[in-house]
Each structure stands twice: as C-alpha cells, then as structure tokens.
Amino acid sequence: MEQGITSEKAVELLKQYGYNELSSAKPKKIWKIALEVVKEPMFILLLACGSLYLILGDYSEGIVLLCWIFIIIFITFYQNQKTEKSLEVLRQLSSPRALVIRDGKEIRIAGREVVPGDIILLNEGDRVPADALLLESNHLTIDESLLTGESIPVIKLVGNDLTNAQNQIFSGTLVVQGKGTAKVLNTGTKTQFGKIGTSLQSIEQDTTRLQHEIKQLVRNLFIVGAVISVAVIAAFYFTRGNFIQSLLNGLSTAMALLPEEFPVVLTIFLALGAWRISKKNVLTRKPTAIETLGSATVLCSDKTGTITQNKMEIAALHSSNKSYYREEFQANETQIDELLKALFFASTANSIDPMEKAIVNEFKKPDSNDNELAFLKEYPLSKNLFAMTRVFKSKNENSSIAFCKGAPEAIFKLCHLSEVEIASYTQTVQEFAQKGLRVLAAASCNLQNKILPENQSDFNFSFVGLVGFEDPIRPEVPAAIKECYEAGIRVIMITGDYPATAKSIASKIGLQHYENVLTGTELTNLSSEELKRKITQTNIFARIIPEQKLQIIQALKANTEIVAMTGDGVNDAPALKAADIGIAMGLKGTDVAREASSIVLLDDNFASIVHAIRSGRKIFDNLQKAMSYIIAIHIPIIGLVLFPAFFTSLPILLMPLHIVFLELIIDPVCAIAFESEQEEQGIMSRPPRNPDDLFFGFSKIFSSLIRGLLLLFMVLAVYFLSINEGHTSGEVRAIAFSSLIIGNVFLILTSLSNTRSFMSIIREKKLSVLIISITALVLLFLTITIPFLQNIFSFQFAGYEHFRISILGASVMLLLFELTKWLKQFKSKKKQH
C-alpha cells in the first residue's frame, strides 16, 4: 500500500485493460447525417418529385424541390451539431483527476489512466475514479446518489468482503467527508458505472408511430399515384388521341398526387420545434421525441435530483421536549438556538457533506462568545460508534466545551439516558422518520480538565435535542404535477428510499398514490403478467434497484402506455433508453444518462418537462392541421386535372405551370404559417391522444376529403357557370383558377385553428398568414391582368365584374367550413357537459 505499483507495471496493465473510460457516442459526421436523411422515405418522395420535374423540362420547380433536400440536411446537421456542443459542455464526469501511489510516490494523473491494482488516495471533494476496495478510512463518507438514487451519503468501512458494498467505493461517486486509501479493482466498462452503460447497447429503441405511418403513407402514395397516372394517360389518349398531350396530363396528375410538401413540413416542424423548446432550456437529442412527448400517457420520475433538489435541509428540530418544524423556526429562535449551536460546532465549517452544509446554512448568527472558541480536537465517526465530537477551548477561560452529533441511538448511549427518556425520544425519532426525515441527535459537555479523554464515550455528555433533515422538493414540482393530471398524464415516482419517505414526498407534491407502494422486494416476486396488472393501480415504487426501473418501464409499455421517464443518475440510464421518451437532467446528470435520453433538461427544472409536453402537443396539432390542409388542397388539384380527361368538349383547366403556382402558396403556408400557429385552447386540459389512433386516421382523412371536395365542387360550379356565360377557354380558365386561389386562401384561414374562427385569426394580425395571403392575391391579380403573364398562364382577361362569382363561391365555401367547425365545437362541449 505504501509503494503502490510501478510505472512499468501501470503501462502493462493499461495495455491489458485499456483506458478507464466509457465508450461514449461520438459526434456524427456530416456524411452520416446526410445518409440518415437519404434513408427516410419522405426524402425519396421529394427526390422523385424533383427528378420528375426535371424530366418534364420544368427545371425551375425541379431545382427548387431538389434544393429542399440540402435545406433539410442543413437543418438536421445544424440541430445535431447544436445538441452535441451542448452535451460536450455538460460532460462533467468524463475524466476526473486521481491521486495515486506509484513507485512509492504520490502523483496525480488523469482518471482515464487509472488501472486495476493502483492505490488511490481520496480526500473530501474528490470524484472516485474507479471501483476499489477500501484499505484505510478516516470517516470516509461517499455520496452515491448518481449510482443508487439514494440522497443520503454512505459511511464506508474498511474490510475485505467483496460482497459488502460498505467495504467498496464505486466509480463516479463523490467523497463528501473524510479521507481514505483504496485498491482499484475494476476500471472502465468493468465498473458498476460502466456495466450500466454497456447494458444500454442491448436495449432497442422503438420507432415512433408517426415514423411508421409516414413510411406506409409514402408507399401507398407511390402505388396510387402510379396507377392513377397511367389511367389518366390512357383516358386522355383514347378520348383525345394526342399521346404527347396525354403524357403531359398524366404527369400533371402525378405532380398533383405526390404531396412533396410532406417531407419538408415534417422536417421543418420537428427541427423548428426542437429550436423553440431549446429556448426554454429543453435540449432535444432526437427531434421525433417531441411528437411522442405530446402523446405521453405516463410520466415516470426518479425522486432524487428530479422531484427533490438532491441536497439536505433542516426540516424539524426537537428541543426541550418539543418539536418545531421549519415554518416555526423564526418564531422560536430562542428555544432552538442551543440545539443549532451544538449541531454547528459539531460540524466542519467548510464541509461538502450535505447534512453539515444544511446545519451551517441554518445556523447563521454565532454570538460573540462563540467567536472566542478555538478548535482543539476532533473525534471522528468509527465502525463501533456512529457519532463525531469536536472539542473547543474558550480563549478567555480555561474551560473547554465538546459538541457531539450522530445517530440517535449512539447519542442516547453517550448521554446515559434512562429507558423512559430513550422511549420518549425514540417516539419523536419515529415521528420524524414517518415524515421522510433523516434524524440525528446532538449533545454537549463542559470540561474543566485540561486533559482530553481518549474516547468519546468518556465524555459526560448532556442531551441537547434531535434534528430532522429532508431532501427538499423542487418548488415547481407540485404545480407541474397538477398540470400533468389536468392533461390526463399519470405520474409515477420511482425511488431507492423507504416506503414511508416515498409516501411523505408523494403527499407533499400532490402525487396520487392510492396508499399503494410497491417495493423492490415485492417486485422481485411478481411475474410479468402480475406486474402488468399491479402497475395499473401503483404510482409509488420504493427501494427499487436499477434493473427494476427497466422492468417497470417495460411493464408500462406492455400495457400500451406512452412512457416518459426522467432521471439523472447512471442507475436511470437503462430505463431512460427503454422509455418512449427518456428525459435526462443536464446539470446534475451523468454522461451515461444524457446519452441514453431523447431529451435533456438544461436547467434540471421539472416544470420544463410540462412545457415540453405542451410544446409537443402544439407541434403535433399544427403538424396534423398542416398535413390535413395538404391533403385537402390536393383534392381539387387532382379533380381539376382529371375532369377534362373524361369530357373532351371541355377546356383543360390546370396545366403544370398552374400547379407550380399553387405549390408556391402551399409550401410557405405549411412551413411557416402552420408551424408558428399558437396552441389550441385547453391544450393541457384534454387527455393524451390514444396510442392506437392513427395520425392519418380515417376521420382525419375523411374531414380533409370533405373540405377538398367542397373546394373542388365550388371551382367546378364557377367553371360551368363561366362556360354558360359564353366565355372563351382562356377566360374560363382565369375565372375558375381565381376561384381556386381565393378558395385556397380561405381554406388556409379556416384550417389554422380547430377552435377559433377565421375572423379571430384575422384579428390576431398574424404576419406570416397576412403576407402569404396578400402575396397570393396580388400575384393572381397580376397573372390575369398583365398580357405577358396571361400568355404564360394561358389566361384571358374577362373584365373585373366576371370575377365576382369567384369571390362569392369561395365565400360560400368558407361559411360552410366555419359552420362545420362550430357544429363540431358545439357537439364536443355538449359531450363534455
């Protein structure tokens, strides 16, 4: 132990075992990101559309569509780089420095260079670099919360029992008090820290429902588009006889059928959604998680560091046979002052032990006599006596005073209390424990003798009182949990603490728990089917080990729940990866937890989760509205292309250029107007969407078809009325096309919200919608009035009065849309009532 290993031996062991580090996910290179985008079916659809336009000779539209490919890659790459940079800043535990003995000398090396067999020296504030067996200890106390979830520091004892966790120290944990010497047993992936990280590789993450549906939709669109295009070419050829014209009309149909907006809209919505919530300290590692988060039905939360602040605070004091709780401290300063003083001087002033920090923070006003005390000696905690004593000498007098704090049973013994007194104080200890408090006792002793006793048990201590510590809950948690319940999201707390502590915390934060608590021991004895049944009525899991967190997540998913899991420790990582949405804490979280998660909270604020859920629901709503609009607007386009195929006497209405003009309106509307649309009223007062409901379900498609058919019938009505008035083909085309464009603008206004009227949207003076609408109407005016543009679009100007029918037809259609919306709302309110 005094010599350690030699430098030569360290080099050999480093080659044999490798560096003491975990393999972390490396930043993706640009070509890998591009490859991921290329694999997406929506990208293939976009590429097909762009290529089709180029084959047709429509180079401008083809180039625009192909440019979107690079825009999508850029957005994806930018978001990925932003995420990687943020994670790099958060990497706090990657390679802590380590003090080791080599060649008989103490040297400080990088933690990644520690090897099995190394003798490491640990001091207060050090991060343990590897799993090791404790050889020497001077009150060594370790915070293992990142590994076990327990917020209370653990006292370590010297011993050779490798099955006893008290004899071992573990990589990634923090020394909060004392000193120690240990022999390294395992490094890198062989450590407890590393084993959990390695186990993540065997956990498969499911693709989201939206991704699966998109793949099916693209496949179906290709099949339907190909069949209809061939049918159109055949119909035109047999009715009109011109094969080239038939081919062009068939390709126009293909252009109308292939909604190339889908990949653009999906990518932009998720990328901009990730950017928006990053402004609220929520970092999205996987943009698809945003859509899934809005559908979450269950939120599983680790207690330590997530619901609580992972620090200690004095919650209760018992002095002079009376208990005082935190809100009573200020009014009873005189009664609790002696107890706080004893606790303060029995603690180290600059300690990083959470309980000692709590004591120092509470006792802020030592009087003048206290400032005259000079430290003499400390008696540390030992294996046989869980108490520590610090002795001070008065500078003005010859007397000394000893202050002691420790486990209640140890202090009772040192104070030689009677059985009646012990029973009374034990009852108070139990009352504090039932409230989830960690209890210590304090004592003091005045000394006249200059010679100090060798052992703490030789002091003539007088009992001063009891103190109860708690890991305080985050102030924002109760309101956030309440909002979760209003949104129909069930909240489950998973902790390594005792059931009484867990229930106490649950009551404080407003967690509905039915008085049922399932412990880790009980969980071990349950089969998968039994757990699936039991978990429907259990919202608190106590004394849970890391493997069981994963078991809980899998049981919830087996019950078709959409599960979001929060956590910060290494022990949370497998569950974070297995959950539908893993949410890691950024400030206090480990690298392993962050890399296993889909979302990282940069401020460790529980309320940020609720904001992310709200954003997820908003993005999903707006994405659904945008996709519904795309389907609706493509119905009249397809109908107007197909209609002349079956009636040779009628003039052709839509040509490829007219479709391109429409796309110039559709694309920015979907990418800008719908994406930036505000959330619907009561978005967090409705239950999560049913996981079995399809994004492109029958009801949504049917609604889009109805709106699209209404617009089609309105344009056809205007089309036939114009023919009956005796207009030329060019004039008919101009009037009918005007009604389509005006109808499209009205369709946008009514589609932006499911709950607000189009007049409300106009009154909101939404800049993006106004700009797009005005631009579309101005361009339409120019194309039907300027001769050069009339020529290009095959239009003839019929006179302003003949366009009144276009405005009237579009207005009637708008009123029908608004009436349908009002009826839906009325029916919904009646159902709720």
Stretch 565-590: mean pLDDT: 78
pLDDT above 90 for 206:
no
pLDDT digits (tens, 9 = 90+) for 683-709: 888 888 776 677 766 777 888 889 999
Cα gap 777→368, rounded to integer Å:
82
Does 253 or 784 have the greater pLDDT score?
Answer: 784
Q: pTM of the predicted model, to two decimals?
A: 0.67
- Segment 603-631 shows an average pLDDT of 83
pLDDT at 58 over 70: no
Sort 697 into a burial class: Cβ within 10 Å, 0-12 / 13-18 / 19+.
middle
If pLDDT is split at 50, 70 and 90, which confidence band does 316 have? very high
Range 400-417 average pLDDT: 94
pLDDT given at position 92: 41
pLDDT value at position 439? 93
Look at residue 33 and tell me whether its pLDDT is greater than 70: no
Confidence of residue 821 (pLDDT cuts 50, 70, 90): confident
**Where are any strands of DSSP class E within 429-576?**
438-447, 462-470, 490-494, 518-519, 540-542, 563-567
Pairing mode, strands 387-394 and 438-447: unpaired
Kindly tell me if the per-residue pLDDT of 194 is higher than 60: yes
> Regarding predicted confidence, which is higher, 583 or 602?
583
CA proximity to 288, closest of 42, 485, 67, 87: 42
Q: Name the residue ranges covered by the structural domains of the chain.
A: 7-23+94-202, 247-276+615-832, 313-470
Tell me how far apart the alpha carbons of residues 637 and 258 are, in angstroms, rounded to a whole number.
11
Res. 183: pLDDT tops 80? yes
Q: What is the pLDDT of residue 91?
A: 46
Q: Pick the residue with more confidence: 349 or 159?
A: 159
Average pLDDT in the chain: 80
Given a cut of 60, is residue 398 above it in pLDDT?
yes
Q: What is the tens place of the pLDDT at every residue in 367-394?
A: 545 567 888 898 887 777 889 999 998 7
The pLDDT value given to residue 93: 38
State the fold for domain 247-276+615-832. Answer: Calcium-transporting ATPase, transmembrane domain (1.20.1110)
What percent of the chain lies above the pLDDT cut of 70? 76
Instruction: Look at 22-36, 697-711, 787-801 and tell me which has the smallest mean pLDDT.
Output: 22-36
Least confident of 255-269, 455-469, 589-603: 255-269
Alpha-carbon distance of 833 to 828, in angstroms, equals 9
203-207, 630-634, 660-664, 720-724: range with highest mean pLDDT: 720-724
Q: Does pLDDT of 429 surpass 70?
A: yes
* DSSP strand pairing (518-519 vs 563-567): unpaired
**For residues 802 and 2, which has the higher predicted lDDT (pLDDT)?**
802
Percent of the chain with pLDDT over 90: 21
Average pLDDT, integer, range 202-207: 52
In terms of Cβ atoms closer than 10 Å to its own Cβ (0-12, 13-18, 19+), residue 528 is: exposed
In this prediction, residue 725 has a pLDDT band, given cuts at 50, 70 and 90, of confident
Spacing of C-alpha 254 from chain mean position: 40
| Dist CA 287 CA 294 (whole Å) | 12
Give the separation between CA 336 and CA 474, rounded to whole angstroms: 26
Rounded distance, CA 113 to CA 95, Å?
Answer: 9
Distances (CA, A) of 434 to 46, 430, 470, 498: 62, 6, 12, 10
* Mean pLDDT calculated for residue range 406-424: 94
Q: Tell me: the pLDDT tens digits for 715-724?
A: 999 988 988 8
7-23+94-202 adopts what CATH topology?
A: 2.70.150
Lowest mean pLDDT among 415-419, 594-598, 646-650: 646-650
Predicted pLDDT at 94? 41
pLDDT digits (tens, 9 = 90+) for 485-534: 999 999 999 887 778 888 888 888 999 876 778 998 899 889 989 999 99
Please report the pLDDT score of residue 732 as a whole number: 87
Give pLDDT, residue 90.
42
50: confidence class by pLDDT, cuts 50, 70, 90: low
Mind listing the pLDDT tens digit for each residue in 70-95?
765 665 566 556 555 544 544 443 45
Higher pLDDT, 546 or 422: 422
| Structure confidence at residue 96 (pLDDT) | 63
- pLDDT higher than threshold 60 for residue 753: yes
**DSSP string of 393-408, one letter each residue:** EESSSS-EEEEEEE-H
The more confident residue out of 21 and 61 is: 21
Name the residue among 96, 87, 101 with its Cα closest to residue 173.
96
Strand partners, 301: 493, 566
Instruction: Give pLDDT, residue 345.
Output: 93
Geometric angle at alpha carbon 469, from 586 and 604, rounded to 5°: 10
Structure tokens at 544: 């849970």
- Among 181-195, 646-660, 688-702, 819-833, the range with the most confident prediction by mean pLDDT is 181-195
Does the structural domain 313-470 have CATH classification 3.30.70.100?
Answer: no
Distance (Å, whole) CA 272 – CA 111: 39
Comparing 781 with 153, which gets the higher pLDDT?
781
pLDDT of residue 284: 79
